[in-house]
Amino acid sequence: MTILMLGDIIGHPGMRTLFSGLTSLVRSTGADVVVINGENAADGFGLSRELAERLFAMGVDVITTGNHIWHDESVFPLMEQDPARVIRPANYPPGAPGKGATVLEKGDVAVGVLNLIGRQRLVMADCPFRKAQEEIRRLRREASVILVDFHAESPAEKEAMGFFLDGKVSAVVGTHTHIQTADEKILPGGTAYITDLGSTGPVDSVIGFDPSLASERVTTQVPHQLKVVDSPATICGVAIVVDVRSGKARSIERIRHYLGV
């Protein structure tokens, strides 16, 4: 089975390039499953129900998220569905809307997707490592393939999660920083890993946002509201081939798909 896991969608440019390029990317990689982080799809902050439905129409199977998911409540009902196709980090405290994991059926293969959020320089969530153990025990009763999106700031925290879950899941991928890393690998226990998928967003930008506003923020220390810059975007992520019987990854290939739109 081939799985596409794609980085954070940044506003309209990210949605536009997905509309233009996702079908051809799925075809060229032979992807059976598409998972994408959508927490920045709505003008850089949050995800609306309308945008989620557009992503499903494009062929996305599951949308993972992160700390910005709470910006638009219209998407909350989608996170409550069973099975959910939009999930939020599982280690948010009890009472937070939505679900943190889901299982989808692809032919005769059950694929589990788990979303977690880091605590270093990010949010005061529950322990992602303990929550991962709890959720994976449950998912393994239903799914032979398990994918983890760890939405975190710290590379060390992400690497620790990769090794912590090595051999227990098919893939651990990082999101949140919008900068694609070049450390994709298969860990010793057979888990595919990358510290950050990067973003599906504008190329000539500061993590997806207008460079002039970003520069002004750091030079004046005035917290100007960042705006997504309207420029051509890339689709960043990885294509992972998984043995559906063992659940172990056979290969991981980094993707940076530029269409010039």
Catalytic site positions? 68
**The model scores a pTM over 0.85:** yes
What CATH fold (topology level) applies to the domain 2-258?
Purple Acid Phosphatase; chain A, domain 2 (3.60.21)
The per-residue DSSP string of 72-136 comes to -GGGHHHHHSSS-SB---TTSPTT-SS-SEEEEEETTEEEEEEEEE-TTTT---S-HHHHHHHHH
Task: Please give the share of the chain, as a percent, with pLDDT higher than 90.
Answer: 87
Is a pLDDT exceeding 90 seen at residue 261? Answer: no
Per residue in 61-112, pLDDT tens? 999 999 999 989 999 999 998 889 999 999 999 999 999 999 999 999 999 9
257 is in an annotated binding site: no
Per residue in 160-177, pLDDT tens? 999 999 999 999 999 999
Per-residue pLDDT, averaged over 241-259, amounts to: 96
d(CA 137, CA 234): 36
d(CA 174, CA 169): 14
8 is in an annotated binding site: yes
Is a pLDDT exceeding 90 seen at residue 224? Answer: no
178 is in an annotated binding site: yes
